[in-house]
Amino acid sequence: MAIHTDSTYRANGKLLLTAEYFVLDGAVALALPTRLGQRLHIKDRPQKEEIIGWSSVKSDGDKWFEAQIDLRSLKCIQSDNSAIANRLEEIFSAIREIQPGFFSPGRPFDIQTQLEFPRDWGLGTSSTLIATLAQWAGIDPYELLQKTFGGSGYDIACANATGPIFYQRQEQGIRVEQASFHPAFHEQLYFVYLGKKQNSRDGIAHYRKRKTNKQELIDQISKLSHSICETTNFDHFSNLLTEHETLVSDFIQVQTVKEKHFADFWGSAKSLGAWGGDFVLLASNRSQEETQAYCNEKGFGVFFTYKDLIL
């Protein structure tokens, strides 16, 4: 299979509105692709060495990682971060395993990735990379994910979605459906960055330590995912968010984000994804100006409206 050069690929970022952790065990999740994502550009390399040149660029245009990879062995021969280089080798090896012959000797090329959001926001630096590389290689992104980073895969579904989705892992495979989630009260929904990138693997490990039977909770969470999507009443929506937070908090034995950061907030607050960092959803029955001022006073300066962040 020939490598497509002078091509650009793009993937959306993601936020997990419901079923955090439980999505791993088959709960129905409501997930939101974001307007911000990552681009990957491939072009022929002018030099004739058997080299893949790699550069990763932040949202502000500054490079944050560079490497050179041997085209034949797919081993990194030069980089400015060995841990990231090792991960890149793993991804390229997985692509070759899935699509043998994809990397052709005698056809060196350069790859540049361009983030559309700061790396520490937790909107999917890894998932958007996997999704764009899979687009380029013409392979199943879920297979590439499982051979590299692992995880539930909802972020991969968001990467290629055109709007909110229901996502579920089933024995027979992955089910992704469009979700009609664009509530009439969307102007009362805000996304706030807590200023700390959360390691999803740590959160998953903590969740996995809880050995109790989860099936009843999985069923409750799945039902809440649909109810949160379907309700047309703001107060009901807020109550459902609180119910979801309480169920997860009781199970993983971690206090809710409202208890930790927004105890005096007049509306509801919902963790998004692994608890402890990244973004939260605030449902507010007061003005955007008052809600944003409240967040700024708490030290949370990254504040998005629904329409500005969600596809």
Q: Which pTM does this prediction carry?
A: 0.92
Are 174 and 193 found together in one domain? no
Least confident of 197-201, 205-209, 245-249: 197-201
Over residues 14-30, the pLDDT tens digits come to 999 999 999 999 999 99
Over residues 68-82, the pLDDT tens digits come to 999 999 999 999 999
Which burial class, exposed, middle or buried, applies to 132 when counting CB atoms under 10 A from its CB (0-12, 13-18, 19+)? buried
Q: Has residue 36 got a pLDDT over 90?
A: yes
In a domain, 294, yes or no: yes
Which residue did the predictor score with more confidence, 4 or 270? 270
Over residues 234-280, the pLDDT tens digits come to 999 999 999 999 999 999 888 999 999 999 999 999 999 887 668 99
Residue 6: pLDDT band (50, 70, 90) is: confident
Q: Print the domain residue range for 80.
A: 7-178
- Please identify, among 128, 148, 178, the residue that sits at the C-terminal boundary of a domain: 178
In a domain, 54, yes or no: yes
Are 141 and 213 found together in one domain? no
CA distance 121 to 193: 7
Are 165 and 197 found together in one domain? no
Which residue did the predictor score with more confidence, 275 or 36? 36
Domain of residue 220, CATH code: 3.30.70.890
Are 64 and 117 found together in one domain? yes
Q: Has residue 47 got a pLDDT over 80?
A: no
Name the pairing type of β-strands 51-57 and 109-115.
parallel
Over residues 124-150, the pLDDT tens digits come to 999 999 999 999 999 999 999 999 999
Name the pairing type of β-strands 268-271 and 189-193.
unpaired
Are 192 and 303 found together in one domain? yes
